[in-house]
Amino acid sequence: MGIATWLLVAIVVYSLILVYLGRYAYLREKKAEAEDYFHAGRRGSILNVIIYSASQSGAITLVSELEASVLHGISVVWYGVGVLVMTLLIAGLVVTPLRRKRVITLSGYLGDHFGEPVRAFAGAIIGLFMPLFSIATVVATAQILRVIYGVPAWETVALCSLVLLGYVLFGGMLSISLTGLVNTFTMYLGITVMVGAAIYYNGFHRLFTTLPPTYYNPLEVGLPLILVWLGTWVVNALLAQTQLQMVLTSKDERTGRMGVYLSLIPLAFMTLMAPLAGLGLHLLFPRATDGFVATALLIKNRLPLWASVVVVLGIWCTSLIWAGSNQFSGAVSLGRDLGKALGFSRNHGQERLNTRISLGVVTVVLIVLGTLRPSNSAWWSVFAFAVRNGALVSLPLGALVWGAMNARAGYCSMIVGGVSAFIWYALNSFSTTGFYLGIHPMWIGLCLALVSPVVWMGGEALAGGRDRRQVHRQVRLVWKKRRPSQYLLSAALLILGGFIAGEAHSLLLHGLIGALAFVWAVLFFFLGALTIIKADPVTLER
């Protein structure tokens, strides 16, 4: 048999083994309750959490850095740095409050805090956007199979999507838990073999001296793009439902937090190794404009059979890990949370059935969208992050730090943030690189999403002061006896706002105005949280 046949056999056999393990994991839990389908019984050890975090974040880091490093060199390492920062924030700030609430999804947490309509909206947004995040790794795998076998992209996207459906359908979180160790080991072994091949075929010295200087410039991709990557992942610490869902399966809060911290070690390894593999691929195949096309050429023309199998399965695992978990997480938000808000999920058994039906829905969405834009796989994730983060960012932040923020302000933020990010993309025909006025749509969505609920709550506070009939719904402005933090935030807002206004033209030329405006919007949100508080019914009645 030729190498292409052996690779196909390896993919099919590996996938069947994982599907079997997923089904076995579910059948093994003879006493498992229906709810265990969603959180694996909350029995996860530190090792389970390390595997969850290192696999999820490692998969998207590998795909995004490997694709871009062929053209941009080591500067793509900033993408991985952003992922590491997100992981630190999740462990330090987010795990504790969510674990104590014993929630399963972010949409469930928001529904418990703001009410059922918010649960419905958040469940729909999270569920329908998850396939867009999945596309990044599925299309990457499809690119490799397309080069090796010469089949159209839509066929390989459909194949990957259907395997994912079978992989997560039976056991849910139970199957993801059992197979996570196998997939994580295979993925990290694959990148290790790629880096080894890059050094072996090019030589260690040549790898760092032969390419143009731009490939070794840590800022070559440009400061605006680096800030977008960092901003995306910092905000995603509040909204990374898939990563949070994995951590929330831990047996207790300390286990979840320590597991996330320890996962930084393998994540740092992936962050550094993926760009090195990209440098080696560019030296071997200088005409390749895509990291995964170059990877396919490496598999097909250079590596021995055993190494080709390891690399193919390593890339294949990125889809099984990242896309599989995203598909399942999105289906839970659709089937469990949206279904609960609409009255369709009355017990855990019905929630599980609705989730399985939703898995079919998100799989169809993944196949359709994956065939619309089979190149620039990372674009899908960036687009989804911009619109989804704009729609939802203020809600978990408000739930954590602003007790006075209500559901009406949340609706305002969802509409203004999500729609504005989408429109800003549309103004430049959904380009992968160029944006209207040079401002990334993510900054537009995030800024308006953070400012709009403060304006809304401020309006309610001013109007509520004249309407004493609905005391329980009122908020008030705290202008007298301000805290020192309010004075500091006010001063920072004035200084930063003045600087942005005075240097607007220069900041636009350098692509920095969006990031600075986001910082201003964050300060404005926190000032609103300190200034607009829940009214005291006793005080109002007087």
DSSP state of 533: E
| Alpha carbons 197 and 201: distance in angstroms, whole number | 6
For position 231, what pLDDT does the model report? Answer: 92
Strand 532-534 with 475-477, pairing: antiparallel
Residue in the block written with tokens 């390492």 = 77
pLDDT digits (tens, 9 = 90+) for 219-270: 999 899 899 999 999 999 988 888 777 777 777 788 888 888 999 999 999 9
| Alpha carbons 319 and 183: distance in angstroms, whole number | 10
For position 321, what pLDDT does the model report? Answer: 84
Task: Give residue 469's pLDDT band: very low, low, confident or very high (50, 70, 90).
Answer: very low
Kind and range of the H or E element at 238?
helix 223-239
Q: Is 154 helix (H, G, I), strand (E, B) or coil?
A: helix
Mean pLDDT of all residues belonging to the chain: 84
Structure-block tokens of residue 300:
């097909």
Question: Residue range 381-398: average pLDDT?
Answer: 88
In 3D, which of 29, 311, 31 has the Cα closest to residue 148? 311
DSSP state of 176: H
pLDDT digits (tens, 9 = 90+) for 8-63: 888 888 888 887 877 776 666 545 555 666 666 667 788 888 888 888 889 989 98
Domain architecture of the chain: domains with CATH:
36-379 (1.20.1730.10), 393-542 (no CATH)
Q: Is 35 helix (H, G, I), strand (E, B) or coil?
A: coil
Q: Is 44 helix (H, G, I), strand (E, B) or coil?
A: strand
| Alpha carbons 24 and 20: distance in angstroms, whole number | 6
For position 397, what pLDDT does the model report? Answer: 92
For position 500, what pLDDT does the model report? Answer: 93
The number of CA neighbours under 13 Å toward the Cβ of 266 is 24
pTM equals 0.89
Q: Is the pLDDT at 139 greater than 90, yes or no?
A: no
| Alpha carbons 538 and 540: distance in angstroms, whole number | 5
In 3D, which of 246, 270, 228, 269 has the Cα closest to residue 378? 228
Structure-block tokens of residue 292:
């995964």
pLDDT digits (tens, 9 = 90+) for 355-371: 888 888 888 888 887 77
Task: Give residue 540's pLDDT band: very low, low, confident or very high (50, 70, 90).
Answer: very low
Q: What percent of the chain has pLDDT over 90?
A: 31
Q: Is the pLDDT at 533 greater than 70, yes or no?
A: yes
Residue in the block written with tokens 């500067």 = 75
Task: Give residue 471's pLDDT band: very low, low, confident or very high (50, 70, 90).
Answer: very low
For position 470, what pLDDT does the model report? Answer: 47
For position 102, what pLDDT does the model report? Answer: 74
User: Left if phi > 0, otherwise alpha if psi is -120 to 50, otherwise beta: which for 268?
Assistant: alpha
Is the Cβ–Cβ distance between 182 and 292 less than 8 Å? no
| Alpha carbons 258 and 264: distance in angstroms, whole number | 10
